[in-house]
Amino acid sequence: MSQLPRPAHARRRRVAAVALALLGLLLTPAALPSAAALLPEAGPRSAPSATNAPIVPIATTVAPGGTAALTGYAIRSAAEVPDPAAAVSTPGYPTAGWHRAGPRSTVLAALVADGTHPDPFYSTDQQRIPRRDFADPWWYRSDFTLPDTSERTSLDFSGVVSAADVYVNGRRVASAAEVAGMYTRHEIDITRLVRAGTNTVAFRIHPNDPRKHLTLGWLDWLQPPPDANMGIVRDVLVRRRGSVSLHDAHVVTRLHVPPPVPAAGPATGSSSVESTGSSSGAAAASAPAELTVKARVRNDSPGTTTATVSAAIGGTGIVLREDVTLRAQETRTLVFAPNRHPQLRLQRPALWWPAGMGPQNLYGLHVTATVTGRRSDSVRHAFGIRDVKAPVDSVGARRYTINGRPLLIRGAGWSADELLRWDTTAAEDRIKAALDAGLNTFRLEGHIEPDEFFDLADRHGFLVLPGWECCDKWEGPVNPTGTGEKWNAADRLTARASMAAEAARLRDHPSVLSFLIGSDFAPDAQTERDYLDALRAADWPTPVIPAASAVTTALSGPSGMRMTGPYDWVPPSYWYDKREGGATGFNSETSAGPSIPTLDTLRRTLSPAELETLWKSPSAPQYHRSPSRTFNTLKLFNDALTHRYGAPRSLADYVAKAQLGQYENVRAQFEAYARNATDRTGPSTGLVYWMFNSGWTSLHWQLVDRYLDQGGAYYGAKKANEPLHIQYSYDDRTVAVVNRRAAAVSGLTARVTLFDTTGTSLYDRTVRGLRVGGDGATATALTVPAVRGLRAVSAAAGGPDSTYLARLTLTDRAGREVSRNVYWLSTRPDVLEYDAGDWYHTPTTAYGDLTGLNALAAATVSATARTTRHAGSVSTTTVTIRNTGRGNTPALLTDLHLIDGRGAPVLPVRWNDNQISLWPGESAVLTAEHRTAGPPGPAGPAGGPLRVRISGWNTPTTHITPSSR
């Protein structure tokens, strides 16, 4: 199968609230307090279109010594603005007929918000938005107010897509040639131009084209927005400071613990710029650390000045001071190092750990410059102490450890919102959902989110793998099948400036695991050198990966990663074969492609005609799949669904079969990588499921949909990634126990029972006294016999012999069930033709037969529920569900959904378990955490009663109303 080439595919606001939050870090190294969780997700809004009334965003007031973000903009196409830039950027310029935009907004996001254009997330409404509206530059105009001009004033910003001419009070302060690239950071001194009172800043934003500009595009992820995301998508800050200013303040941490012992041969090296420390997990908790504080100090006054610079490390009592004398306009790097300041050696530091491995301890850095006893400037931010190592082992796989403990990357691709709208609550909801599904890492291929994203990742212990995009301008010099143009000298400067800016922004975030300087292709030698120089200059602390694909470069060495896909449907057994995308090494992009959302979401996404096409025309193009001709249909997925489960009889039947198929496939993918992580040869070290979410309403590459509803794909991942988990292997029929907890577990009992579709038991065995080590260790409990040898038993019982069920349970020493896993299997294997494969899938020439599931008798379940309101805005609904049937038929993949008075899902919601399978007499207690809406009582978000909808593969849909307390 040919891996490469492949076609084009796939600020922080420094306002008072954040400052106060960070100030708290100076008191303790404990983790940041939780943000207000579970608030409604912001989405496209419908509002009156722009009118002739002037659009005047609230002017930002910047106090002496303060920093504030512009609060919003009046925007309009430059083709509709005949006046010169000097007039447009002058205070008092009339803005009648302009549109209002938020402080971070693309043009289209603003026009959708004010109702000028329709919601692009429904049906094909995005096609109704004319691209010609975005062919010319757009003006972004905003005011800010200064009470006086006693201090120096500057503009500090990044996030311009794609380039901008910048004006202040009628004067141009930067050209589009200078302000180019989404990730470049710019600080412009505007002291000579500002006045007491109202001041105006105006950006003339140039159109974006990801093939021509170092910004971002959407590859084959989704239908790209008509404006190509032109706009300003990060905060524009107005800073006021004294004569001496601070820049680039950060902390370099070094943790002294022994190196890890490789599990599969010696390491052959690591492409770290400077990987500090390493560990042998057990010693990490008592390992000492060294801190080095650095900052550049600049004298902006016309004469020689002496400043006192102090640095405080919160939670340690460390306060350092040093006087520095600077000539006019001189800049000097000040270093507080352990050799001169021994208090920077911490004997028992509070370490930062990923979620599930330990606490997310954070410290605070506060650096202040004073001149003649008066504060001139100060900066503060959080940082964490942790060590990341990622050597390439003897079989060529990148193997991560954190603080010395082995780390199997269970990741997924993260997508920004299609219109690049930032919503902290929505992002936190998604991070929590990923944690709940047992994931530990997001890969950001381009689309590197604003500071709040990384703050959330730090707080919740979620790892991040940021990096540059494939296939567009970022890979223009090296990707022969991409669409990006070659670079000129200016592009190289922009690329290096982008790397320098992002390195400085991300380096102190302990959640950032590495940086991928290439995606499908490694950068050329000159670009790689530029990137690495920029990273070194920024004191980048973690390994640098030359590409997400299997490449080796002269400077960085082997990537230790591979990009073999697949990206479209393959059967569950595929993941166990150690070739192509199977469970070996580190696969940076991989999944079985399509992911059909729940019926609730489909009805919010597609028109009635599109819903009919979805299940009746399996080869039809699907607008909500992909713009790529490779992925614009669901044919491979639908063919497999029909062969394995039977042709769909209705839309509801199609969706039900899709959930079954997605559950078994995603579960198998994560289980195979978990089992093979401890192999002696060809171990799996990481996988990135492609993808976790979509930037819009989609039919593929997602574990959760746009509305955070959860279906088979999500619950398959959640089941596979349980902390203590029992699982079946499709390749050799072994039953294994995987323990992701730190400590070993003993006294476990595993039971495996096989049933035919009438519920007749075919095989039943119990194994007691199991022990499994910690940190991802695996223990094999038993091997299940081949079911073809049991056909006679099934036939004698009168049941079908091609489809059967496997129930796996794991109980602890006290007899409590700690893991439960149910499989639907076939005596007929799925057969793959590897020699006919390509870069995105391996053909299946024969399919397993799971059509016996259609013969399952209807199951009956009963349930009771209670909703408890907690302090704040969170409630818990507890449901006790029981299979009350009298026969032997299980209630297969029983799904619980909280719904409101209109029958719509209550989202987001986090269930402790869901889509469960129960045999007659069995019961389960499921809990859901969700937002509280309305006054006390059973009222749901839509004013009607909150209800629990219970449905399943062979369970009629019923509803119950929880009691409340």
CA angle 279, 283, 288 (to 5 degrees): 80
Can you point out the beta strands (E) in 592-715?
A: 684-689
Task: Give the integer Cα–Cα distance in Å for 328 and 298.
Answer: 9
Task: Give the integer Cα–Cα distance in Å for 744 and 938.
Answer: 43
Considering only CA atoms, give the Rg of the chain: 29
Task: Give the integer Cα–Cα distance in Å for 38 and 629.
Answer: 38
In the numeric block, which tokens belong to residue 725?
A: 């988990």
Can you point out the beta strands (E) in 459-540?
A: 463-467, 515-516
Task: Give the integer Cα–Cα distance in Å for 11 and 554.
Answer: 35
The dihedral built from the CA positions of residue 519, 520, 525 and 526, taken in this order, carries a sign that is: negative
Are 463 and 355 a contacting pair, CB within 8 Å? no
Residue 136 appears among annotated catalytic residues = no
Residue 589 appears among annotated catalytic residues = yes
Are 337 and 48 a contacting pair, CB within 8 Å? no
Task: Give the integer Cα–Cα distance in Å for 158 and 152.
Answer: 20
Helices (H), 423-488: 424-436, 451-460
Whether a cis peptide bond, with omega within 30° of 0, leads into 566 is: yes
- Which among 693, 688, 701 has a CA at the least distance from the CA of 628? 701
- Which among 253, 273, 183, 256 has a CA at the least distance from the CA of 493? 183
Task: Give the integer Cα–Cα distance in Å for 446 and 479.
Answer: 16
Catalytically annotated residue among 445, 580, 589, 709: 589
Angle between helices 651-676 and 712-720 (to 10 degrees): 20
Q: Which residues pair with 305 in a beta bridge?
A: 326
The dihedral built from the CA positions of residue 674, 678, 679 and 685, taken in this order, carries a sign that is: positive
Catalytically annotated residue among 451, 520, 577, 801: 520
**Burial label, 641 (beta-carbon count in 10 A; 0-12, 13-18, 19+):** buried
Task: Give the integer Cα–Cα distance in Å for 597 and 580.
Answer: 27
Query: In the chain, helix, strand, coil percent, each to 5?
Result: 20, 35, 50
**For residue 518, what are the contacts with CB-CB under 8 A and spacing of at least 6?**
467, 468, 475, 478, 545, 546, 547, 548, 549, 551, 559
Task: Give the integer Cα–Cα distance in Å for 718 and 655.
Answer: 20
Task: Give the integer Cα–Cα distance in Å for 730 and 716.
Answer: 15
Judged by DSSP in three states, 577 sits in: coil
Which sequence positions are flagged as catalytic? 520, 589
